[in-house]
């Protein structure tokens, strides 16, 4: 169906084929608001218009800042992770994608490793997927992580002290312990607020600083970044791609990010 057919249709036919593009745009925004994210194919089916029409609509809505285009679909702008979004809300967003990412990252872990893990929903799903591992030492500031980490996988689990932030359910403070001058880890597993061609970033300076310290203490770093964070640049940059060993995500990133990842020699895993 072409745009001319869409424009000629009666508003009584269906919300998707309404005479005015603005009506269709409102219907599209409402669908994305309720679903969080959708593929182009799902939008075509819901609105009964062509793929070309949907793509043009998405281009217009993105230019107005109402949505974010993703590979093969779109995300409603309010679904993007914000600084003050509670961890509970983030745990319920893009659940299936984060479970796939968590499993893919867990498959990179070897028995007996020492892991240092930051806050966030994606790292919780990673911890929950560690059931096939054994004898792991886990260091984290993520207070949501201990209840979900499989007991059979753990040798010990250490909680970093500091100030408690209830919104993110993390502690913020020195990455270390008073009894020893410093710690080291085999792998840092981190989530972040955004990813762009310049690297990964977070919305709060204190949390970004703590995560950057975790990366420096680890031999390698796995970054868990779902597609809602593509082309998002938050307040504080945590790391460039040269500091990251693996980027694990749920969709192919935009070209600029892909180019930066390849140039840095970082390995990309799309779950």
* DSSP per-residue string spanning 93-131: SSHHHHHHHHHHHHTTPPTT-EEEE-SSHHHHHHHHTGG
- d(CA 122, CA 68) in angstroms, rounded, equals 20
pLDDT the model gives residue 16? 39
pLDDT the model gives residue 93? 61
Q: What is the CA radius of gyration of the chain?
A: 21
Show the low-confidence residues of the chain (pLDDT under 70): 1-20, 65, 77-93, 167, 176-181
pLDDT the model gives residue 232? 86
Count of residues making up the chain? 271
The structural domains of the chain, ordered by start, are 3-79 (1.10.10.10), 87-270 (3.40.50.1360)
- d(CA 47, CA 63) in angstroms, rounded, equals 21
- pTM of the predicted protein model: 0.68
> Which residues face 239 on adjacent strands?
200
pLDDT the model gives residue 25? 87
Structure tokens at 122: 């994606």
CA distances from 73 to 13, 39, 176, 268 (A): 25, 4, 42, 20
3-state secondary structure of 60: helix
pLDDT the model gives residue 228? 86
pLDDT the model gives residue 89? 57
pLDDT the model gives residue 177? 65
What angle separates helix 21-35 from helix 51-63, to the nearest 10 degrees?
Answer: 80
pLDDT the model gives residue 176? 67
Other C-beta atoms closer than 10 Å to the C-beta of 77 total 16
């Amino acid at each position: 169906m072409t745009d001319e057919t869409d424009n000629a249709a009666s508003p009584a036919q269906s919300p998707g084929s309404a005479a005015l593009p603005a009506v269709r745009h409102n219907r599209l925004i409402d669908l994305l608001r309720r679903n969080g994210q959708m593929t182009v194919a799902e939008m075509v089916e819901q609105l009964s218009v062509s793929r070309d029409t949907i793509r043009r609509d998405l281009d217009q809505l993105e230019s107005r800042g109402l949505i974010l285009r993703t590979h093969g679909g779109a995300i409603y702008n309010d679904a993007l992770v914000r600084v003050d979004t509670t961890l509970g809300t983030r745990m319920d967003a893009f659940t299936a994608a984060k479970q796939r990412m968590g499993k893919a990252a867990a498959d990179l872990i070897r028995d007996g490793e020492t892991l240092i893990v930051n806050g966030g929903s994606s790292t919780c799903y990673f911890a929950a997927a560690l059931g096939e591992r054994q004898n792991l030492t886990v260091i984290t500031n993520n207070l949501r992580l201990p209840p979900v980490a499989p007991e059979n996988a753990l040798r010990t689990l250490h909680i970093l002290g500091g100030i408690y932030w209830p919104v993110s359910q993390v502690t913020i403070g020195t990455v270390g312990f008073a009894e020893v001058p410093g710690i080291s880890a085999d792998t840092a597993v981190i989530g972040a607020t955004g990813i762009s061609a310049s690297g990964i970033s977070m919305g709060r300076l204190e949390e970004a600083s703590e995560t950057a310290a975790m990366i420096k203490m680890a031999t390698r770093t796995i970054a868990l970044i779902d597609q809602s964070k593509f082309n998002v640049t938050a307040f504080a940059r945590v790391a460039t791609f040269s500091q990251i060993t693996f980027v694990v995500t749920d969709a192919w990133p935009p070209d600029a990010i892909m180019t930066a990842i390849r140039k840095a020699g970082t390995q990309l895993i799309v779950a």
